[in-house]
A and B are shown apart, each in its own frame.
Chain A
């Protein structure tokens, strides 16, 4: 069996790549899984299938096979992203 790992530091590069697409997120990397921590505006954008496809493609480019968005308590409009 082979174990996939994301590119070292790939989660920060992914954050940058997503930001360029207007998706402001923190990425919590869990092996091949990228957990996106986002505000409500970004979550709403991800409701669009095209935006989701673009986010998934960027994640793949950065070594992640899976992408999930966290359902936060404090993801209301204007809420800041948690610090790293």
Chain B
């Protein structure tokens, strides 16, 4: 075992101890890398009856990720509860300010925490990890306001360690690209609507059918879809017959114009565009 793997393994033991001290936990569960790992470790440590994974379903939650969440839960014997959330109905969210995530998480936790508590789960957790603490995350404030705990961040888990431990545990999410909500594809100030989220989701799904794996985002700029791909695969899509495929796939989702970002995928790209974070 390498020392890096050893550190991650030790951290997992501390996580199990942390969970056992709480006894019963509910997890805000999206099927992403972090919440899937946390939920599976909790289920192993506490037993299925003592863990409830709660999915908040809304128009900004990609259907593909919902499917992953259900698959992982089935595979690892996790109890799941699905709640409908409706952040798009909050005009403060729909206006898409730079702290949009605060209103989304407020909607999520204000529905999820009471439901968890009523079922005897007094500890509610999320999958925030240590790397996230350095990022611009206004949603974290909503978690604090609802007394939601983030043990992965608290115990110092990096994204790399979570992926490594997920792989060791046989979780299919270990290599899954990060998958923030669909609203993150709309520039701040652009109204979030179900139609626009649908365009983005259909465009990304169409690009996956072309064999594009790994990081991928379709950013919404009114009539233009700006496609961000992993930098190593950029060049191949600048060849005429290839870019025609890419363009046509995205157009079928409802965009009039399609443009390929020359820098490639950037997490938080639209934060940079608006000067919220540095270029």
Q: Which A positions have Cβ atoms within 8 angstroms of B?
A: 1-4, 30-33, 35-36, 40, 43-44, 46-49, 52, 55-56, 60, 65-71, 73, 75-76
Contacts and interface: CB of A to CB of B under 8 A. Distances in A.
A15 B5 CA distance: 50
Interface residues of B, number: 31
Nearest to B259: A68
A68 B246 contact: no
A52 B274 contact: no
Q: In terms of DSSP, what is the predominant structure of the interface of chain B?
A: mixed
A44 B241 CA distance: 12
Interface in B229-249: 234-235, 238-240, 243-244, 246-247
B272 A65 contact: yes
Nearest to A75: B240
A36 B97 CA distance: 28
B275 interface: yes
B278 to A, nearest CB: 10
B240 A76 contact: yes
Contacts of A68: 224, 226-227, 259-262
Nearest to B239: A47
Given A33-B226, A67-B262, 4 more contacts: A4-B273, A32-B273, A43-B238, A68-B260
